[in-house]
Amino acid sequence: MLAQLHQVEQSINQVILGKQQQIRLALCCLLAEGHLLLEDLPGLGKTTLAHALANSLGLSYRRVQFTSDLLPADLTGISIYDARSQQFHFQPGPVFSQVLLADEINRASPKTQSALLEAMEERQVTSDGETRPLPSPFFVIATQNPLFHAGTSALPESQLDRFLMRLSLGFPEREAEHQLLVDDSKGSRLQFLTQQLDSATLKNLQQQLSEVKVTDAVIDYLLSLVDASRNRNDMLPLSPRASKALLRASKAHALLAGRDFTTADDIQQVFPSVAEHRLDPRSSAASHSLSQILLEQTDCPL
Amino acid sequence: MLILLSRQAILSFYAILVSLIVLLHQALPLWYSAILLLLLLYRWPLQQNDKVNKLKRVNVIAALILLLLLVAIKQSGVFHFMLQILLLSAVSRLVLIRQRHDSHQLLWVLYFLLACCFIFYQSMLVSLVILALLMFTLYCHYRLYASKQYQLQMLQLVKAILITLPVWISLFLLFPRLQPLWRIPTAEAAVTGLADTLDPGSIENLVQSDKLAFRAIFTDPPPPRQQLYWRAKVYEDFDGRSWTVNQRFERRQSANRQPENTNAEQWINYQVIAEVSNQRSLFALGQPVQYASVVRPTAAYLVEARRPVTQRLSYQLSSMLTPVPADTTFEQQLNSRTVNANPETRELASQLAAKSRSTAELIELISTMFRQQPFYYSLNPPRLGANSIDAFLFDSRTGFCSHYASATAVLLREAGVAARVVGGYQGGVWHEEQQYLEVRQREAHAWVEYYDQGSWQRFDPTAVIAPERVLAGLEAVLMADEQNQLQANWRRFSALNYLSQQLLHLDYYWSVWILSFDENNQQNLWQQLKAARNILILLASVLLLTAMIWWLWRFRRKPDNNAAAVRLINKYFSKVLSKKAAGQHFSQFATVLKKHNPEYNSELAHIDQLYQRALFAEDQQALVQLADYLKQHRHSLKKLTWPE
């Protein structure tokens, strides 16, 4: 099962060249059943990565291009009057899929962004006074452009907090880009995606995740990191939701590394991606300055 | 929870039980030991995996054995019967045992049986063996229940024993010796030492034994050797050949028999530690005037124990070295009887009696006869017939102390003087350094007491014929080949001899300090404690104060909440760990260390791997391995460097 996951990881590595670490973190995020936010300049491969992830997990997925005139109902669905039966029928929107690819999420109006809020946290949608559950599993993989770009409105802190991780791909290495250009004539890179998980395997993996061991010592270390953020003025404090997210992501990281126990290293590896956007919502995803400060200054006795 | 016993544990139980069967063999008939061993073989632990014995079958077998034991209860007695049942239950439990849960009762029965062994053995060496078995049982018990992490650590066990040692000692010192509980049941065993019958030849056999008879400790310097006549038995009945103790009259005497001369300055105070003899008679010098409560006086100023001596017995006595006064007139009659045998002796006696005017003169005449005529002292006298005295006095003229004593007593009786043969021990080996007198069976002796001027005078004909026997001991008198006869082969090697002597001294301290610790000593101890109350209170408060200070100091120090693996790393890497960046975890640090110390790459990698498993996966085995590995490589770990 874990071998299958590693094969998936490798095939995604064929699609996005030279970004092993980010791809591993992205897989961690999905394994931990968390939503993923990809932030980058346009053209760095966020959408490709989102597609590759959604594809390789073997889940049904819908893509929505967010624009400034996108309305909440465009996401959640609307009730349409059926003249023949003289009744309203609910027409489910793209949110009713296992993976929602929200492209350029910060181009939408805050109203539409907040419509996603309920869906992401509660895994359900309320429309016309009726609450409908979303399919399970349900992931949102969102991409966004950096905030300084024209026509963007920042995601509120509350919504950022709902993303387990924020990742940035950054520019590729020279050799990777060379390879990219060589392969370009062959068509879409998504064709390199050969491996897919089936939903049963994914479920099993998530089951395994709950059995990954976390000792008190590791939790103590995690808490001292979180505590450190709460005693400072130069950053937002990390919420208990953040510490839960941190723990889940660390466990997923341990599982991906083929271990059944979590180490301090797992925490340190996932910490920047999990914490940075919560510590400073206005930061760019490429910088990890605040989380690095916390990691360096918090004593790790382990 | 079902936890199967390891084969090792079952084998240990086997070892303990088999040693118990050997140790308790005195309580077990031979057939029973054989049955127990067969029952143990019934499930030999080496084929553990085959199916377990049926409970029903074992129950039936045990019931049958129990029936046999019940039939034999008359022979063995209740106490042995109880031991037999306990052993039976332990063996049948072991035969069926499979889980850890089952071993619970077995262990307690084993403890109890081990304690029972002390009933049969009091010597130091066997006690050490029993103690070792006890420790082994404790260790097995500990291993059954200790967590995996501590299974290899013998050190923990030693620590635990050290912690409980004060409890052991205080229990020994302070536990009340409740009489009915403390009494050890009498086991039937062969009688050793002087018998109730004195044949010509019985003492010769006795002196060839190297066994200890008793030890004596004197409060003052010991009396000279020629005064050390330890009286044990008085023989009144003579049948023409051998002497026996008269059994027909009540020998017990009231303890408040007051001596006439109560000048305590002439008393000799001493303590006797008697070895196991399985008879009642004990040893005393001269006329005992004060008795410890464990002994009581009997006729002819002898002392005896209240029960046959089945374990070492220590008692205190005070004696006067004066002739023993007459007890009753009946005693004189008893000792004046003659038998119709030894006609030549009777003839000689009447001649001697005619020549002498007083008893003292008669004694002098007998002495002169022994001294001037060719009489010989020998360990190997010729065998004598029915008229043994005649044969000895007129024919062989070669004899051992019993021959001379018996001949003298008969001569005196025939001459009309009341006389008796006294059996006991003469002399002993004085150990100056350890300050005690060691009396072996070697010192067994017989002499004569005759009635004169209201008391029983001692006359030792051996002192006439072979005065060195009395002054220097038996070995001084004998020829070389006879000396060899006395010594066991191994005793000729001086090193072994020395060793055995040291062992005997150790055994002496063992019996003085451990075995003879009774209620009186306990009361003395309490009294001494009471007297030293102030100092003790001071000591206790000082101890309490230091404990409190220590506790406070510990409390103030930051408690080390770190996991065991982290503590290990902190301990062994203390030198370089100060260079670790605050946010670094050990694995990162180890990577950097490897870069600086490439020669220890593999060690550091191994340590890191074990450490991660031990700390993050809480793998106890990895923790033990880590501890071992760190310990093994502690010297190379000290060489790790960090660039300044």
Encode pLDDT of B221-245 as tens digits: 888 888 889 999 888 888 888 888 8
Beta strands in B212-344 (DSSP E): 212-218, 229-235, 237-238, 243-244, 268-274, 284-285, 287-291, 295-298, 302-305, 313-320, 324-325
A294/chain B closest Cα distance in angstroms: 8
Of A218, A298, A299, the CB nearest to B616: A218
pLDDT of residue A247: 93
* B contacts of A216 (beta carbons < 8 Å): 563
Residue of A296, A300, A302 with shortest CB distance to B615: A302
Chain B contact set for A268 (CB, 8 A): 583, 585
pTM over 0.90: no
Question: Do you know the residue count of chain A?
Answer: 302
pLDDT of residue B135: 87
**Subunit contact B585:A302, Cβ cutoff 8 A:** yes
Average pLDDT, chain B: 82
Q: Where are the beta strands (DSSP E) in B375-468?
A: 376-377, 398-399, 419-426, 429-431, 436-440, 444-452, 455-459
| Token pair listed for B127 | 């006690």
Kindly determine whether residue B563 and residue A217, on different chains, have CB atoms separated by under 8 Å.
yes
Nearest chain A CA: its distance from B567 CA (Å): 10
Classify the phi-psi angles of B222: left when phi > 0, otherwise alpha if psi is within -120 to 50, otherwise beta: beta
A228 part of contact set with chain B, CB < 8 Å: no
pLDDT of residue B479: 66
User: Residue A72 above 60 pLDDT?
Assistant: yes
**Contact A295/B at CB under 8 A:** yes
Three-state DSSP class for residue B597: coil
- Whether A301 sits inside 8 A of B616 (CB atoms) is no
Q: Which positions in chain B touch A298 (Cβ < 8 Å)?
A: 582-583
The answer to whether residue B188 scores a pLDDT higher than 60 is no
Instruction: List the single residue in B with minimal CA-CA distance to A259.
Output: B617
Looking at CA atoms only, how far is residue B120 from chain A in angstroms?
A: 55
The confidence band for B79, taking pLDDT boundaries of 50, 70 and 90, is: confident
Q: Report CB contact under 8 Å: A213, B618.
A: yes
**Rounded-to-integer distance, Cα B398 and Cα B200, Å:** 12
pLDDT for residue A222: 92
Interface test with A, best of B558, B574, B585, B588 (most A CBs within 10 A): B585
Q: How far apart are CA B40 and CA B38, in angstroms?
A: 5
To the nearest whole percent, how much of chain A has pLDDT over 90?
13
Q: In B, which residues are within 8 Å of A299 by CB distance? A: 582-583
What pLDDT was estimated at residue B452?
A: 85
Q: Mind listing the pLDDT tens digit for each residue in B526-540?
A: 888 888 888 889 999
A213 touches chain B (CB under 8 A): yes
Scanning every residue of chain A, which has its alpha carbon at the shortest distance from the alpha carbon of B608?
A302
Choice among A110-124, B144-158, B339-353, B610-624 with the minimum mean pLDDT: B144-158
Cβ contacts of B483 within 8 Å, gap of 6 or more:
B475
Smallest Cα–Cα separation from A35: which of A124, A154, A166?
A166
Bridge partners (DSSP) listed for residue A90: A79
Which residues of B are less than 8 Å from A218 in CB distance?
A: 616
Q: Which chain A residues are closer than 8 Å to B588 by Cβ?
A: 265
CB A129 within 8 A of CB A89: no
- Please tell me which residue of chain A has the smallest CA distance to B560: A301
Which residues of chain A does B587 touch, with a Cβ-Cβ cutoff of 8 Å? 263-265
Q: Please name the member of B563, B585, B617 whose beta carbon is closest to the beta carbon of A265.
A: B585
Q: A262–B618: do the CB atoms touch at under 8 Å? A: no
The answer to whether A9 faces chain B, any CB pair under 8 Å, is no
Q: Tell me if B617 and A218 make a contact (CB, 8 A cut-off).
A: no
pLDDT on residue B486: 62
Burial class (CB in 10 A: 0-12, 13-18, 19+), B93: buried
Phi, psi angles (nearest 5°) of residue A104: 50, 55
Least Cα separation, residue B538 to chain A (angstroms): 45
Say which residue, A15 or B210, is predicted with more confidence: A15
- CB-based contact (8 Å) between A223 and chain B? no
Cis upstream peptide for B166 (omega within 30°): no
Cα of first residue to Cα of last residue in chain A, in angstroms, is 30
Q: Give the closest-approach CA distance of B602 to chain A in angstroms.
A: 20
For B287, list phi and psi in degrees, rounded to 5.
-105, 105
Distance to chain B for A278, nearest Cα, Å: 20
Q: Which of A225-234, A279-288, B177-186, B314-323 has the lowest mean pLDDT?
A: B177-186
Cβ atoms of A108 and A68 within 8 Å: the answer is yes
- In angstroms, the separation between the Cα of residue B560 and the nearest Cα of chain A is 11
A276-281 mean pLDDT: 86
Determine the Cα–Cα distance for residues B556 and A168; give it in Å rounded to an integer: 48
User: Which of B585, B616, B619 is the best residue to mutate to test the A interface, defined by the most A CB atoms within 10 Å of its own CB?
Assistant: B616
Partner-chain contact A261 B562, CB within 8 Å:
no
Query: Pairing relation of β-strands B229-235 and A99-103?
Result: unpaired
Q: How confident is the model at residue B46 (pLDDT cuts 50, 70, 90)?
A: low
* Min Cα–Cα distance to chain A from B618, Å: 7
Q: Which pLDDT score, from 0 to 100, does residue A189 have?
A: 72
Chain A residue with minimum CA distance to B582: A299
**CB proximity A302 to B under 8 Å:** yes
User: Mind listing the pLDDT tens digit for each residue in B466-514?
Assistant: 888 777 777 777 766 666 666 655 555 667 777 877 887 888 788 777 7
Within 8 A by CB and 6+ apart from B492, the residues are: none
Q: Give B613's contacts in chain A (Cβ within 8 Å).
A: 261
Calculate how close chain B gets to A31, using CA atoms only, in Å: 21
Mean pLDDT of B552-570: 75
Q: How distant is the Cα of B40 from the closest Cα of chain A, in angstroms?
A: 46
Closest by Cβ to B583, choosing from A216, A259, A296: A296
Lowest mean pLDDT among A164-173, B34-43, B416-425: B34-43
Task: Among A85-99, A276-290, B366-380, name the one with the lowest average pLDDT.
Answer: A276-290
What is the nearest CA distance from A293 to chain B, expressed in angstroms? Answer: 9
Q: Give the residues across from B450 on adjacent strands.
A: B419, B457
Question: B582 vs A301: CB contact, 8 Å cut-off?
Answer: no
Contacts of B614 in chain A (CB under 8 A): none
Q: Which helix (H) or strand (E) holds A126?
A: strand A124-127
* A222 contacts on B by Cβ (under 8 Å): none
Which amino acid is it at A60?
S
Higher pLDDT, B510 or B178: B510
CB pairs under 8 A between A and B: 56
Q: Is the pLDDT of residue A17 over 90?
A: no
From CA B135, how far away is CA B158, in angstroms rounded?
Answer: 10
- The residue in chain A having the minimum alpha-carbon distance to the alpha carbon of residue B612 is A263
pLDDT of residue B262: 64
Looking at chain B, which residue has its C-alpha nearest residue A264?
A: B585
Q: For the residues B159-174, what does the mean pLDDT come to?
A: 85
**Which residues from chain A sit within 8 angstroms of residue B581, using beta carbons?**
296
Looking at residue B186, its pLDDT comes to 54
A86 DSSP assignment: T
pLDDT band at A120; cut points 50, 70, 90? confident
Residue of B125 and A187 predicted with greater confidence: B125
Residue A129 is predicted with a pLDDT of 79
Task: Spell out the long-range contacts of B533-542 with Cβ–Cβ below 8 A and sequence spacing 24 or more.
Answer: none
At residue B253, the pLDDT reads: 62
| pLDDT score for B547 | 92
Strand order in the sheet with B229-235: B284-285, B229-235, B419-426, B444-452, B455-459, B324-325
Q: How far is CA B455 from the centre of its chain?
A: 39
Least CB-CB distance to B587: which of A261, A265, A301? A265
| For residue B255, pLDDT beyond 90 | no
